[in-house]
């Protein structure tokens, strides 16, 4: 989504801000508010009168926007300047391949982010690397690694073989992936066979 700059002489556009937030589980960034014509002072006024709420530094939520199951993920994604892709066990959860939400939100950031002095939000674990378009999918308002990439990442990270096996069984049963299509995953799982 490209941020289009508004002519500030025409004033702020609630419609533009709402449209932006609607695609992000009701959330928006300071930069997105500015693109819709909202100055920091006007944004502060909306905070004070309860029209918007601060979700974290630089990320806000429209107060009357309906709640979304993926809100916490949208906030983390906006923190990453929309560069992150949810991955590993978090992607398993978002794809509905695991009932267990990991203790930390796992996300993959572009490799060049490794050089940044990055302080991830509490409860967030970061991984770095490039992802091709084939490695990406969307679940609700947030990007996640595709199913094959998710399973490979989990196997390479040494995620519990029970969780990986259950997820692999589900995708095979659903006809999403053939079991022999992911040798990295089947190789990982074969190490735990008795």
**Sign of the CA dihedral with 74 first, then 130, 107, and 127 last:** negative
Q: Is residue 71 part of a domain?
A: no
| The two three-digit tokens of residue 144, written as one number | 């996640």
Shared domain for 95 and 170, answered yes or no, is yes
* Residue whose structure tokens are 């014509």: 37
Shared domain for 178 and 112, answered yes or no, is yes
| The two three-digit tokens of residue 158, written as one number | 């040494």
Shared domain for 41 and 126, answered yes or no, is no
Shared domain for 45 and 103, answered yes or no, is no
Residues making up the chain, counted from first to last = 194
Taking only the tens place, the pLDDT of each residue in 110-167 is 999 988 887 889 999 999 999 999 999 999 999 999 999 999 999 999 999 999 999 9
Q: Is residue 171 part of a domain?
A: yes
Burial of 86 (0-12, 13-18, 19+ CB in 10 A): buried
Q: Is residue 49 part of a domain?
A: yes
Q: Is residue 72 part of a domain?
A: no
pLDDT: is 28 or 179 the higher one? 28
* Domain carrying residue 33: 8-62
Shared domain for 147 and 186, answered yes or no, is yes
Q: Is residue 162 part of a domain?
A: yes
pTM higher than the cut 0.85: yes
In DSSP terms, 61 is beta-bridged to: 27, 53
Shared domain for 105 and 139, answered yes or no, is yes
Q: Which of 175, 83, 99, 184 is nearest to 136 (CA)?
A: 83
Shared domain for 134 and 182, answered yes or no, is yes
In DSSP terms, 137 is beta-bridged to: 144
Give percent of the chain with pLDDT exceeding 70. 95
Q: Is residue 128 part of a domain?
A: yes
Q: Is residue 165 part of a domain?
A: yes
Number of domains in the chain: 2
Shared domain for 29 and 99, answered yes or no, is no
Shared domain for 85 and 149, answered yes or no, is yes
- Euclidean distance between CA atoms 48 and 53, whole angstroms: 9
Residue 79 neighbours by CB under 8 Å, 6+ apart: 56, 58, 59, 121
Q: Is residue 70 part of a domain?
A: no
């Amino acid at each position: 989504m490209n941020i289009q700059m508004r002519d500030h002489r025409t004033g702020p556009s609630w419609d533009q801000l709402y449209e932006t937030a609607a695609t992000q589980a009701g959330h928006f960034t300071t930069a997105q508010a500015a693109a819709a014509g909202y100055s920091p002072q006007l944004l502060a006024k909306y905070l004070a009168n309860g029209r918007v709420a601060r979700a974290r530094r630089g990320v806000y939520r429209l107060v009357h926007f309906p709640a979304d199951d993926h809100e916490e993920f949208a906030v983390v994604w906006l923190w990453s300047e929309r560069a992150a892709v949810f991955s590993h066990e978090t992607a398993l959860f978002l794809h509905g391949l695991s009932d267990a939400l990991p203790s930390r939100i796992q996300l993959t950031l572009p490799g060049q982010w490794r050089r940044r002095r990055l302080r991830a939000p509490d409860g967030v674990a970061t991984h770095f690397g490039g992802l091709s378009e084939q490695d990406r999918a969307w679940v609700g308002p947030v990007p996640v690694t595709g199913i094959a990439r998710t399973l490979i990442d989990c196997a390479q990270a040494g995620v519990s073989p029970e969780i990986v096996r259950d997820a692999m069984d589900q995708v095979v049963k659903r006809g999403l992936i053939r079991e022999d299509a992911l040798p990295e995953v089947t190789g990982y799982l074969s190490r735990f066979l008795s």
